[in-house]
Amino acid sequence: MIKIGIVTWFADYNYGTKLQAYALQEYLNRIGYDAFIINYTVPIKGSIVKEPNRSVYKKVYGKLSWELLKIIKKLYRKEIELRNSKMERFTTDRCRLTSIISDDKEFSNICNIFDVIITGSDQIWNPNWYNKVFYADFPNISAIRIAYAPSFGTNSIAENVREKIRSSLNGFYKIGIREKTGQQLLLKLFGIRSTKVVDPTLLLDKNSWMELMDTYTEDLNKPFVFCYMLSDNPNHWRAIRKYAKDRELQLRVIPKEGFSYTVGTVKEYSAGIERFLSLIYYSDCVITDSFHACVFSVLFNKKFIPIERFSSFSESSQNTRMHDFLASLNISSIVEPYDTREIKEHNIDWKQTINLLECQIIESKRFLSEALNKGKNDD
């Protein structure tokens, strides 16, 4: 049996991070491989990109949001700790992890107990926090390296980090990249051809995810809008409140940033992974700027309204992740622009959307299977 070590994010208290990490190793183990997540947590340093000056209004609002969040972390300390503990328990209960690794040398050594190292998914290749660990780029690693669905998360790579990335990309047997924008960057900047693949959460079917949902859902029997926002834009919150009020829908919010704790009919302070999935599945509409909330909305065929998380002027914008995913399904027109003051209704041809998605899933599974089997045979 081929042993696979997965290099990815898994420790952050983030729904998408936890779900993608679980999904890849779960899928690989289901199809007959012996897959583990390599238990090495690398601190992510601040972005190397400087943001342009924001308006005085945005600066003041951002400061207020940050100060409010500090107060909220004290007020809702128990609820936040409970949410984090639920996320940790999901990883420890559902994921197969190696022993804890403390440094790069130990990381290199443990990589060599595997036949194959897979790097991905999520934004582990985002150039704003480059780290060679996320490429398994150490000279004494002898295992075959394959990339599955890492994301650059951006449409450009600064010149001061390009050569580091170029060097780290050397030696990959196959690269499957999550976004078309990333595929274009690899070819344009590094001359590397790659395959576009789906996020690993889509390698598992709808029923697999439904099995993980909360068993208690009686409180979700009233029509509601589920809202999960990673940004804290005041115009977005006003538009979201108005959308729910105009339709007489309950507004359920998983609060994340400062002002999100002041919004919503019901606040899901301590929602774990299972509750997050249930809130999407049982909602009448999902409003979000989260990539993975969009992914699960599509997987569950839910009405959803994506909002851009970043301004188009932001050099560290990650909007390409959402735009590329939705464009691949011919539904990019449903995205509300950053700073929107109104949320509009959109219709999705679900039959066409699901057909496109199923084709992409089939091709992604084929990529993984061929890369793993050929890679092992060529070793």
Domain coordinates in residue numbering, the chain: 3-47+94-206+357-378, 207-356
With a pLDDT cut of 90, the percent of the chain lying above it is 81
Judge whether residue 58 has pLDDT over 60.
no
What per-residue confidence (pLDDT) applies to 62?
Answer: 62
* Percentage of the chain lying above the pLDDT 70 cut: 93
Interacting residues of 118 by C-beta distance below 8 A, sequence separation 6+? 4, 5, 6, 7, 24, 28, 35, 146, 147, 148
The CATH architecture to which 207-356 belongs is 3-Layer(aba) Sandwich (3.40)
pLDDT in tens, 338-356: 999 999 989 999 999 999 9
What pTM did the predictor assign?
A: 0.92
Instruction: Assign 48 a pLDDT band (cuts: 50, 70, 90).
Output: very low
Residue 47's pLDDT is 45
3-47+94-206+357-378 under CATH 3.40.50.2000, yes or no: yes
pLDDT of residue 44: 67
pLDDT score, position 82: 96
Average pLDDT over residues 6-34: 97
At residue 55, does pLDDT exceed 60?
A: no
Do the domains 3-47+94-206+357-378 and 207-356 sit in the same CATH topology, yes or no? Answer: yes
Within 13 Å and on the Cβ side, how many CA atoms surround 364?
A: 26
> Other C-beta atoms within 10 Å of 174: how many?
19
pLDDT reported for residue 57? 44
Residue 59 has a pLDDT of: 56
pLDDT tens-digit readout, 236-283: 999 999 999 999 999 999 999 888 888 888 999 999 999 999 999 999
The per-residue pLDDT for range 213-229, each reduced to its tens digit, is: 988 888 999 999 999 99
CB 183 within 8 A of CB 194: yes
30-34, Cβ contacts within 8 angstroms, sequence gap of 24 or more: 31/369, 32/1, 33/1, 33/2, 33/3, 33/4, 33/372, 34/1, 34/2, 34/3, 34/4
Q: Do 326 and 294 touch, CB atoms closer than 8 A?
A: yes
pLDDT, position 52: 45
Mean pLDDT of the chain: 92
Least confident of 36-50, 100-114, 174-188, 288-302: 36-50
